Structure 1
Amino acid sequence: MLLLSTELLLAIALGAALWMRPWQLLRGGALISPLLGSLVVLPWLWALPWLHTMPLQLHWSLACLVLLMLGWPLAVPTLCLVAVLAGLLGDQTWEVVVTLAFWRGVLPATLALGLGAAIRRLIGPHLFVYVLGRGFLGAAVCLFAASALLQWLGPAQPGLDKTLSLVAHWLTAWGDAFVTGMLTAIFVAFKPAWLATWSDTLYLPKPPATHDTPD
């Protein structure tokens, strides 16, 4: 039942994103580098739990960073493709790929989109609000919310303490958010063209001009 709901929600999100013609965002070539970087790096990070046998499995997402770089219409198909590539690398089933695409990719990115709009509306478009609110804090909240929702809706696992599992999800979300916030700050400073959600005009308004009056 959860798989069917996940497939339906993923299809709706992907259809809505494609309806917005995300390829138009690639005009000018500024977002080609972050797009290719996402498709090269993220599949390996997402496939890490299946590629090594360490006792502590690291689950990376970075979906909020992809959202900030590419914008929601382009981030959704990109994250879906990342999930497919990760599934191929880890030799996983279609069910795992769908779950990965929605719960680790599309849902956190969509939550980050809504949270970012709410932050900008309530607080205003400020530089530190963008970096801290959407990069650090927003990423942590959205990633934890997606993980907690999956745990709540998914089947119960024997021997799993839900309280301790939520703590683990919270800590993992903060690790992901730290990387997201750090890279967001770097891109704002040195590569603002790699952030489709960034605007110098919006977040760096020029101070009003002052006119000297004669004595």
Structure 2
Amino acid sequence: MLGDGLNSGWGWWLCLLLYGSGLLLAMWTAPWRKILSQRLLQHLFLGATVLLIGLWQMRAGLSPGLSIHILGATLVTLMFGWALGVVAMSLALLAMVLVGHLGWEAYPVRGLLMILIPVLVSYGHHLLIRRLLPKNFFVYLLGTVFLGAGLSVAAMALATALLYSLANVYSLQQLSYEYLVFLPLMMLSEAMINGMLMTGLMANYPNLIRTFGAKNYIDGH
């Protein structure tokens, strides 16, 4: 079982408070009626959750609580919105706990670092790009998807290093040499995987992406 390195203390309670509040808000504001009324959307949501589980199985383990793998936060956030993105990733994380790859005590820590922070960064970045730049297919693909994916994993890594150093789990020097040194690789791989998957969806099923309107981004209206 992969431990998390932060299983007690003020850091754990902070993660529980922040992630728990974010998850409750996401479940309260998620468009459940739309999900329940559209079978295709249900299949897409469940398929994205299974995809996340598969991506998270392919990880490179470092010290306890530190690992490198594809998040997929930008993909599910742009597909479904931030609320359903949080729910989908939380279900995938729950599956990791149930199969024994993660302990229950690590759930709120991973929930905050792997789910809530990357999702909010991805969605906030999307809103900023939509407001400041023209509605264009390539602006959405390169600016929102590729750049957003890189920023989401960077936010996760920096938040992990900050939390673990403040909680005295690892020294900042150890985190720099064992974890943050891989940040450029993490950002590039996250951007590429999310970008390739989203490109396929944009080309074939643009109307299924909640934050992407084919009429707006392709026709420029």
Q: Same fold (TM over 0.5)?
A: yes
In angstroms, what is the RMSD of aligned CA positions? 2.3
Whichever residue aligns with residue 9 of structure 1, its letter is L
Which 4+ stretches in 1 moved above 4 angstroms?
none
Q: Is the 8 A contact 1:31 1:69 kept in 2?
A: no
* TM-fit CA distance, 1:49: 4.1
- 1:133-190 deviations in Å (ceiling 9; x for gaps): 1211111012112211111121342682515632302311220210101111111111
Larger deviation, residues 139-148 vs 36-45 = 36-45
**Alignment gaps of 5+ in structure 2:** 1-9, 62-66
**Which 5+ residue runs of structure 1 have no aligned equivalent?**
52-56, 208-215
TM-score computed with the length of structure 1 as normaliser = 0.83
After superposition, what is the alpha-carbon deviation per residue over 1:168-214, rounded to whole angstroms, capped at 9, x for unaligned?
0231122021010111111111111331211123213367xxxxxxx
Aligned ranges 1:76-155 → 2 under 5 Å: 76-154=86-164, 155=168
Equivalent residue, structure 1, for 2:207: 193
Q: Which has the larger radius of gyration?
A: 1
Following superposition, the deviation at residue 91 of structure 1 comes to: 4.1
State, as a whole percentage, how many aligned pairs show the same letter: 28
Judge which range, 23-32 or 170-179, deviates more.
23-32
Count of matched residue pairs: 202
> Match of 1:177?
191
Q: Which moved more, 1:111-120 or 1:166-175?
A: 166-175
Q: Could you tell me the TM-score, scaled by structure 2's length?
A: 0.81
Structure 1 letter corresponding to 2:84: L
2:32 is aligned with 1:23: yes
In 2, Cα distance between the equivalents of 1:71 and 1:165?
29
**What is the CA-CA distance between 1:71 and the residue it aligns to?**
1.2
| 1:75 equivalent in structure 2 | 85
